[in-house]
A and B are shown apart, each in its own frame.
Chain A
Amino acid sequence: MFDVKLSNKEKYEESKKFLAGKKKVLVKLPWGSLGLTICYDVRFPNLYRELAKKGAIFMSVPSAFTKTTGEKHWHTLLKARAIENFSYIFAAAQTGRHYNDRLTYGHSLIISPDGEILKEKEKGEGFIIARIDENLPKKLRDKIPSLKSN
């Protein structure tokens, strides 16, 4: 839950309105397994590590990152999750100004398991497409077997 106080003006209390989930979710796709995560989850590396160890090679991270934190952390956090788990990251991101002047950062991303930004859409509605090599996560994991130890 995004219960965060960035300043006296900018506070969030997600847990006031939302129930926190309890289950990690992995979905089998024709090309490999996809781990489902959302937004603030990206700050909890253990979740991604667990999904990767259970076989995920793709991670989805649909988000409404605040502009304040997005500018500083968004790309770095997602790249780190991609590299440390050698997984593709699909991060659709809300962008713009919302009710009560809330600002979101945008910058939807597709990141390779090597940490390379394959496609990025900074703002506006739309979609991005990138070519995926579903064998790349395994290739990288074989080279650098960091997922095997703790």
Chain B
Amino acid sequence: MLSYQIKKNIANRSVLFNPNGRIANYYDKIHMFDVKLSNKEKYEESKKFLAGKKKVLTKLPWGLYV
């Protein structure tokens, strides 16, 4: 029987690139979508993802981008 454990070492990450294609900043989603909408429709994001802890603010030429 094939069994494996999912390691919780990934984040739901939003990556911001600068015009040179380099990573300017990134944000790991803080709030895990652990939701049971019905018996059929359930989500357990925290089973697979690590929750972020940091609020991320990035300076753009025109203001702050959250």
What residues make up the interface of A, taking CB atoms closer than 8 Å to B? 142-146, 149
The reply to whether the CB of B31 lies closer than 8 angstroms to some CB of chain A is: yes
Query: A144 to B31, Cβ gap below 8 A?
Result: no
Q: Number of A-B pairs whose CB atoms are under 8 Å? A: 10
Residue of A nearest to B31 (CB): A149
- Cα distance, A144 to B42, chains bound together (Å): 10
Query: A145 to B37, Cβ gap below 8 A?
Result: no
7 contacts between A and B (CB under 8 A): A143-B36, A143-B37, A144-B37, A145-B34, A145-B35, A146-B31, A149-B31
Chain B proximity of A55: nearest CB distance (Å): 22
- Cα distance, A143 to B38, chains bound together (Å): 8
Task: Chain B residues near A142: list those with CB within 8 A.
Answer: 36
- Cα distance, A146 to B43, chains bound together (Å): 13
Task: Chain B residues near A146: list those with CB within 8 A.
Answer: 31
Query: B31 to A143, Cβ gap below 8 A?
Result: no
- Cα distance, A149 to B45, chains bound together (Å): 14
Interface flags for B7-47 (1: CB within 8 Å of A; 0: not) read 00000000000000000000000010011110000000000
